[in-house]
């Protein structure tokens, strides 16, 4: 199915209007915007519906957008049965970043969501094991936030190094 | 060391005990087979037949308790730094540290990353720095030979009696 048909099918299933967008340059994949409260439901329907059958979660990632004061969750889905793909997005507020987990839909989402929690600080409700996956447990803050400030030292190790004398930077 | 007599059974040499001890020590520098990134590939090559570190008495060891030299081979993340520090502390004195490659010297390409330590000397006392990305096995071998020179120049007996101040360790609180 084409992206516009997939969007229409999702609208039927969710019985609500959805927005289909494409980047400014009109290239690359378009995406379907899902309201946050319907995120898990939309994902489950996209996986189970006969015409969509998105049984494969290719990637789940997060993007910090301080200008719009939200964090985007981006799910790249693919259907082996129908050989079609779609990108679903939803928006989480930066102040209170809580989203429902999609681990119950695709078990593969578990580590992706842990990564988003680790680097962007999004809390996933009903996640089976939400803890940091890449950084140490005692790491301060979430480094992929655009306003992240690195502390001067970590466990006594300075985080910067003076430039050698006479160097350009 | 002075050679005083050469006979069919062998030569007799007389010299300070420090020199004799150091002669033995510098020809058995065993290094820890440990790497954190791509420099470890060159580290493995250095132990292979072409570079052949074995001809200088340098053998790789799998346990830090048997190793004399810790080679920081590769990018060091903050998460890894505490583990490397643990390995270092398990090594018996005297121990030497080589920072191999740009990353271990300064953080290298990844210096601006939030997760990468900007040089091994920020948490370990580094003896020898080897630039390069990665350094060739010949360069690492030269670094190991520089460690040999350091070993040969050490007043070892004075050192074990505590008469020589220890190397400054960045992880320990400094006396000032």
Q: Give a three-class secondary structure readout of chain B.
A: CEEEEEECCEEEEECCHHHHHHHHHHCCCCEECCCCCCHHHHHHHHHCCCCCHHHHCCCEECCHHHCCEEEEECCCEHHHHHHHHHHHHHCCCCCEEEEEHHHHHHCHHHCCCCCECCCHHHCCCCCEEECCCCCCHHHHHHHHHHHHHHHHCCCHHHHHCCCCCCCCCCCCCCCC
Give pLDDT tens digits for A115-158: 999 999 999 999 999 999 999 989 989 999 999 998 888 888 88
Among the CATH numbers 1.20.1250.20, 3.40.50.970, 3.30.460.80, 3.10.310.30, which is that of A3-95?
Answer: 3.30.460.80
Q: Confidence band (pLDDT; 50, 70, 90) for A162? A: confident
**ω into residue B134 within 30 of 0, thus cis?**
yes
Among candidate residues B115, A107, A101, the one with its CA nearest the CA of residue A117: A101
- The answer to whether residues A125 and A99 touch, using CB atoms and an 8 Å cutoff, is yes
A–B interface: beta-carbon pairs under 8 A: 33
Q: Token pair for residue A162?
A: 């003076």
CB contact under 8 A, A143 and B107: no
Among candidate residues A47, A35, A157, the one with its CA nearest the CA of residue B119: A157
Task: Tell me what pLDDT residue B22 has.
Answer: 87
DSSP, res A128: T
Task: Tell me what pLDDT residue A165 has.
Answer: 79
Mean local confidence (pLDDT), A13-36: 76
Residues of A in contact with B107 (CB under 8 A): 161
Measured in angstroms, the CA of A158 and the nearest CA of chain B are apart by 7
Among the CATH numbers 3.40.50.12280, 3.40.50.2000, 3.40.50.2300, 3.40.190.10, which is that of B30-150?
Answer: 3.40.50.12280
DSSP, res A156: T
Q: Confidence band (pLDDT; 50, 70, 90) for B176? A: very low
Q: Token pair for residue B130?
A: 């080897």
Domain ranges within chain A, ordered by starting residue: 3-95
Among candidate residues A61, A57, A55, the one with its CA nearest the CA of residue A120: A61
Task: List Cβ neighbours of B1 (8 Å cut-off, separation of 6 or more).
Answer: B13, B14, B15, B16, B19, B20, B23
CB contact under 8 A, B82 and A154: no
Q: How far apart are CA B37 and CA A16, in angstroms?
A: 50
Give pLDDT tens digits for A56-92: 999 999 999 999 999 999 999 999 999 988 899 999 9
Inform me whether the pLDDT recorded for B174 exceeds 60.
no
Task: Tell me what pLDDT residue B15 has.
Answer: 80
Residues of A in contact with B122 (CB under 8 A): 157-158, 161
Task: Tell me what pLDDT residue A28 has.
Answer: 65
DSSP, res A155: T
Among candidate residues A95, A99, A94, A92, the one with its CA nearest the CA of residue A113: A99
- The answer to whether residues A117 and A37 touch, using CB atoms and an 8 Å cutoff, is no
- For A15, A51, A58, B140, the CA distances from A99, given in Å and listed in that order, are 21, 27, 19, 50
Q: How many Å is the maximal CA-CA distance in chain A?
A: 66
- Alpha carbon A95 to its chain's center: 16
The CA angle A106-A112-A117, to the nearest 5 degrees, is 125
Q: By percentage, how much of chain B surpasses pLDDT 90?
A: 63
Q: How far apart are CA B17 and CA B36, in angstroms?
A: 38
Mean local confidence (pLDDT), B66-70: 94
Beta bridge mates, A62 = A73
Q: Are strands A19-21 and A31-33 parallel, antiparallel or unpaired?
A: antiparallel
Residues of B in contact with A161 (CB under 8 A): 106-107, 111, 118-119, 122
Probe site for chain A from B85, B102, B114, B171 (most A CB atoms < 10 A): B114
Closest Cβ opposite residue A161 in set B78, B111, B171: B111
Rounded to two decimals, the pTM is: 0.82
């Amino acid at each position: 199915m084409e992206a516009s048909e997939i969007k229409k099918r999702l609208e039927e299933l969710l019985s609500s209007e959805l927005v289909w967008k494409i980047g400014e340059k009109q290239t690359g994949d378009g995406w379907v915007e899902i309201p946050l409260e319907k995120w898990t439901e939309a994902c489950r329907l996209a996986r189970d519906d006969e015409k969509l059958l998105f049984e494969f979660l290719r990637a789940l990632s997060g993007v910090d957008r301080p200008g719009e004061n939200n964090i985007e969750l981006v799910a790249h889905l693919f259907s082996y049965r129908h050989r079609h793909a779609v990108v679903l997005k939803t928006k989480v507020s930066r102040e209170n970043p809580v989203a429902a987990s999609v681990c119950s839909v695709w078990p593969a989402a578990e580590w992706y969501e842990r990564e988003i929690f680790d680097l962007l600080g999004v809390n996933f409700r009903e996640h089976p094991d939400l803890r940091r996956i890449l950084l140490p447990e005692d790491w301060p803050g979430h480094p992929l936030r655009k306003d992240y400030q690195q502390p001067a030292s970590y466990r006594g190790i300075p985080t910067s190094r003076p430039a050698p004398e006479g160097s350009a930077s | 060391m002075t050679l005083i007599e050469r006979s069919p059974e062998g030569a007799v040499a007389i010299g300070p005990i420090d020199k004799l001890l150091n002669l033995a020590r510098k020809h058995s520098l065993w290094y820890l087979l440990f790497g954190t990134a791509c420099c470890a590939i060159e580290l493995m090559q250095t132990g292979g037949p072409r570079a052949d570190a074995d001809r200088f008495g340098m053998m790789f060891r799998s346990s830090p308790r048997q190793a004399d030299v810790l080679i920081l081979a590769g990018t060091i993340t903050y998460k890894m730094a505490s583990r490397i520090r643990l390995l270092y502390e398990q090594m018996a004195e005297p121990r030497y540290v080589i920072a191999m490659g740009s990353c271990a010297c300064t953080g290298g390409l990844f210096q601006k990353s939030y997760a990468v330590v900007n040089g091994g000397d920020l948490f370990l006392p580094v003896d020898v720095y080897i630039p390069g990305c990665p350094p060739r096995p010949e360069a690492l071998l030269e670094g190991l030979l520089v460690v040999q020179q350091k070993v040969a120049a050490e007043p070892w007996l004075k050192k074990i009696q505590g008469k020589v101040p220890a190397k400054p360790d960045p992880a320990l609180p400094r006396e000032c």
